[in-house]
Chain A
């Protein structure tokens, strides 16, 4: 009986551990470089302290046509942060993997108007994301399709 109990504990622990590892692995599918459908930027999503964040790593038009200098976060509601370079800017923040290919509890920032929206990310397939930014209810939002980018292999 004692041996049976011991075996049961081991198996339960193994099962719990495996499912947690699976969840982490599933959640890490978000990590990588992604391109929104407007093809204006690339975003790199990484994991910091268990949550997922995305920063702009490339801009199709990196120079502001008005100032002639690299684009900055000129529409930030905080005046003191209006000169933060857009290259490197954290557009996606605080996403937590919820299972079933969905990341939630995060926000997406739109540098074009300085607004921050609630956001949910769904993995359509390994190389496609549905990103929905919304206000309050998911109804008041818009979904965009992002595609994964990979580095070209050296021949």
Chain B
């Protein structure tokens, strides 16, 4: 038994006896180091210092103050034609829920790929439709947007990068028991090439296919994200979609000021007949002030206050649901027009973010 104990004890002692290495080592400053094998490649980061929080998940509620909506009749108009209102109504409430999720699929130093989904509901409380078909249709059901999108950030080296974004939006006044054709889904995309000369600046140029102001368009885009040396002031611009100045009050509080374009093309099911799609081409400009505030951990509050200025609220009838490109210079007929008075808007949301 004694021998057994001695044997066990000696076994435990074995690793404590180490053989010291005799080679000479240089214990001077850390400047004098070399790679054990080869260095890694440095890739430009998708973020700059002082960028606003990246929202993984966001839930918000948007609401507008009352305004007057006027509609023309549905006789068909040239794009630049003048028109007169056939019917008007006060819209006492406009707003609804917005949910957005943007989840990394691959997130490494040499590529970032994110996929996301968003849902937006806009309810128009039209007070007096007076039998007008368009006002009645907007009063009947709210507008929904359900979208899927993907974004790829591909660094080319330590300064240059590419961004690709693709999006599919299913827009209309459908309900979850009454969907319109999925063939009416709208597709958008953007591609940019950019540079990040230092860790407080990134800029890029590119082009986009977009429905952002209601109807299909192809426009150039410019990105310019910059933060000052003191990490207080800066800009976050993706022109023409949005442009903001920003000010970091402290690391838990960020104020942004600028504007964003919103919009889309929505199928109005009650006015769509014979296989055609009667579509609302809605676009608006929202100048605003935005406050982002850390609540706890990685949950932030987002509050916006601004104006909703109507950019476009016209209607097209798509034959057999087939989209067409009018752009800035096309002369295809517009089915009807609406005008919306400017209103104030507010939005409050909570986001799960990464800095």
Chain A positions near chain B (C-beta within 8 angstroms): 6, 9-10, 13-14, 17, 21, 33, 35, 37-39, 42, 57-58, 65-66, 75, 77, 110, 112-115, 126-128, 135-136, 139-154
Contact = CB atoms under 8 A, between A and B. Distances in A.
18 contacts: A14-B11, A17-B11, A21-B15, A37-B43, A37-B109, A66-B230, A113-B251, A128-B40, A136-B298, A139-B103, A140-B352, A144-B108, A147-B38, A148-B36, A149-B33, A150-B35, A150-B36, A151-B26
B40 A153 contact: no
A150 B41 contact: no
B74 interface: no
Interface of B: 4, 7-8, 11-12, 15, 23-27, 30-43, 45, 49, 56, 103-104, 107-109, 112, 229-230, 251-252, 298, 352, 354-355
A153 B26 contact: yes
A143 B251 contact: no
Nearest to A57: B30
A10 B7 CA distance: 8
Given A37-B41, A114-B251, A135-B298, A150 B34 contact: yes
A138 to B, nearest CB: 10
B293 to A, nearest CB: 14
B112 A142 contact: yes
Given A37-B42, A113-B251, A150 B33 contact: yes
Contacts of A128: 40
Nearest to B48: A112
Contact of A139 (B30, B104, B108): B104
B103 A115 contact: no
Contact of A135 (B23, B26, B34, B354): B354
A151 to B, nearest CB: 5
Nearest to A10: B7
A113 B38 contact: no
A153 B108 contact: no
A142 B43 contact: no
Contacts of B36: 126-127, 147-150
A150 B35 CA distance: 6
B315 to A, nearest CB: 41
A114 B107 CA distance: 21
Contacts of B298: 115, 135-136
B6 to A, nearest CB: 12
Contacts of B26: 151-154
A153 B109 CA distance: 31
Given A37-B40, A37-B41, A42 B103 contact: no
Contacts of B352: 135, 140
A29 to B, nearest CB: 12
B24 A152 contact: no
A142 B153 CA distance: 13
B4 A10 contact: yes
Contacts of A151: 25-27, 32-34
Contacts of B32: 151-152
A75 B251 CA distance: 7
B42 A39 contact: yes
